[in-house]
Amino acid sequence: DIHLTQSPSFLSASVGDRVTITCRSSQGISNYLAWYQQKPGKAPNLLIYAASVLESGVPSRFSGSGSGTDFTLTISSLQPEDFATYFCQQLTAYPSRPVTFGQGTRLDIK
């Protein structure tokens, strides 16, 4: 199975900062990657799919990039509501294949 490793696992930042989270795949996955945001006590919420496509309604300060094995999620100017945990997910064109998630990156207020 493909393994996804996120870095860092924890990140402290201030409102207005630019932050970048990385997701590395153990195998090349083209652009088959999604990013989710999760707030305490809530279900994850889709931010980005196909590595760089912003989901409808997601603020433009969020962006994604990458292809193959290395991917990044960038928040250009942190807002108070962005402090949350972020997960990457490997996508697949084949529903019979396992789905994997990164271990998560917790973003806290400095």
Partner 1 sequence: QVQLVQSGAEVKKPGASVRLSCQASGYTFINHYIHWVRQAPGQGLEWLGIINPNGGDTTYAQKFQDRVIMTRDTSTSTVHMELTSLRSDDTAVYYCARAGQWQVLYHWGQGALVTVSS
Q: Would you count residue 12 as binding partner 1 (CB under 8 A)?
A: no
What is the strand order of the sheet 85-90 is part of? 10-13, 105-109, 85-90, 33-38, 45-49, 53-54
Beta pairing partners, 37 = 45, 86
In what helix (H) or strand (E) does residue 25 lie, and over which residues does it extend? strand 19-25
* Least distance in angstroms from the C-beta of 42 to partner 1: 8
**Which region, judged by CB under 8 A, interacts with partner 1, from 10-18, 58-66, 74-82, 94-102?**
94-102
**Under a CB-based contact definition with an 8 Å cutoff, are residues 78 and 62 in contact?**
no
Residue 34 in contact with partner 1, rule: CB under 8 A:
yes
Q: Closest separation between CB of residue 50 and partner 1, Å?
A: 7
Asked whether position 89 contacts partner 1 by CB under 8 A, the answer is yes
Q: According to CB under 8 A, which one of 19, 32, 37, 64 is a site residue for partner 1?
A: 32
